[in-house]
Structure 1
Amino acid sequence: MSTTDEDVNPYDLLGISIEATEQEIKTAYRQRSLKVHPDRNRGNPDAARKFHELHQAQELLLDPLRRMALDAKLRIKEARKARYASYDAKRKTMVEDLEERERTLKKARVEKEAEKKARWHENERIMEEGRRLREERERELQRKEREREELSKKAQQATSTGMEPPALGLLDTTVRVKFSLSAHPTVTDASSLSTLLAPFGPLDDASIVLSLKPAPPKKPKRVTALVPFKQIGGAFAAVCASGRPESGLGDIEVDWAEGKEPELIGWLKKMGQLGGDGAATKNANLPKQNPNSLRTPATVDSRSATDTTTAPPPTQETSFSSFPSTFPDLSAVPPQPSAPTEVPGLDYESLTLMRMRQAERARLEREIREREAQEE
């Protein structure tokens, strides 16, 4: 309490001597407290403080142990004053210097403690600021991660709804070729097979795999090969020309290596880039036709893009006879791809050729169905 300090003497506050009795302490407190009671001194701002000091002084002096400690301290102080009074001028100066140094050391110690405490608070503030910045960075990273996940999810949804073209698979440009060796005795190795399929597009000759299967009893020897094209357009053209003599693939079965149409071809059909949704794989039930009954374009000039022309039957000099006899109306087609999304592995020319081959196949199937209907 403040009354225990050396600068505040409880006896002086109550106006009594150090030998005062308990009754004298109570009487002195009652008399002095009435003078500074806050209710009687509403205009005095120090009245409450003085009243509190008097109350603390009374409590201290009425406690025997605390009063005993206070009396001992006061006696030591009085003895020090008495000794100081008996000193000569030189010794008084030495005592004053000593006390001054003690006060200076005490002040320095207090300032050091205050500085240490301020430094601790500053470290705490810096650590708190670091935690706050770290949490903000983590929240920012989490926000960016959520945005990336949302973009990825939207991209997947766009792909699943067909707006984006599917990626080109590893075997999407590879076809499986099957034929009887008796029908094509000269096609016995990868080089001859590459020459046979070269008109449909560039091939990866080094990756062609050809297998000669042993012939069962009374059956001709069969040849199976996997032929990778460099572009899916070439593979599509070969599959469309499967089994067609006018394309040089009579008695040769050409199908997709995976046994099903690539997703990219299905996507092109769905987006209207290859005409209707007709099958792009070989139709084994199609009857063989006389090559003279199939028409191929002899010339294509700028005078009429939609006129149909009749060409002589294909000969050995014909490099590629799988073009349609009736060209689609290219005058309405812009010079750039109409699809808003770039199709991987296809340029505009390849896409146009695939459209023409699909149109030709649809035309041939239609003519065959009409001819069968007339025969019936």
Structure 2
Amino acid sequence: MATPDTEVNPYELLGLTLECTEQDIRTAYRQTSRKVHPDRNRNDPDAARKFHVLTQSYELLLDPLRRLALDAKLRVKAARDERFKSYDNKRKNMVTELEERERAFKKAKIDQQRDEASRWQETEKIKDEGRRLREERENELRRREQEANRPPAEDNMDAPSLDPLDTTIRLKYRLSAHPSLTTPTALAALLAPFGAIDTESIVISSKAPKKSPDKPPKHATALVPFKQIGDAFAAVCASGRADRGMDGIEAGWVGGKEPDILVWLKKMGKLSAQPPPPASRPSPNSSGPAQLPQTAPTASASPFSSFPTSFPDLPSMPAEPKAAAPGVDYEALTLMRLRQAERERLEREILEQEAAEGV
């Protein structure tokens, strides 16, 4: 874009002479700006540039110092033009050729400076990118070295604690396929091949369909607490398997996910994610007080030989107090109340889940 100092003559642009006053400049600008304003020339794509050049010329003429320099330049140019008119054709051609060479030299110099600046910027950009990549590699190597030298975390080595619900599984089945599974005793007998069960703590819930509340229930949900987590694991792995007597019965963990202790055993390589085919085992006695195991069933007693024969040191839950001991009636009563509260909580959980599923 042309600048008012060089290619554009501000006086000619505003239609003024060198002898004009400041008031003449303001009046000429006001009149000319109306003609070239972009709002009045929406169809002219060059209107914004023209208005900008006009504004620059107006500001230049109102600046006394800049106007003085411009006047001197214009007078020198006018004197040069007058001298040029007095030259013969040969000298005119020489002057014209000289001026063209000067313009070409200036243009080449400007282009060279522009190219050098562009190359310098590109070089700096490449340097910055290389510096950034080098820092990223150094940081990555430093991080890997720190991870390699970092001692294994104790949390990853220590076995997680055994939650009271880790030995409890959730069963879901259709009553039409298993009409006899409506009592804790029947469920305990079905699951007895897997291990000892706390029969008294079994919770069964069956609810009629919402659309037909007068009809008998179609589905049932049960919470079955095993005494050994290995037995609970075996029952969950046998979910839906007819050869284990679980055809049409969906077995899962009451917490909705695998207990932390089993995840830890698999991570440590002490428990196979896919247990081998089951082996027969005798039916253990399902009665007696519920105790949280310190050890899993032995290889001869477990239907899954992949389950470890013993757990690492785990905090054991206190067993239910044995009856007939003088002085412990209050403790036994407290434990019985806690157990009843836990059973009621599990029943509420089943009812809430059935209501959410729309069973």
What TM-score, normalized to structure 1?
0.38
Query: Which structure exhibits the higher relative contact order, with contacts defined as CA atoms closer than 8 Å and separated by 6 or more residues?
Result: 2
Computing the radius of gyration from Cα coordinates, the structure with the larger value is 1
TM-score, with structure 2 as normaliser = 0.39
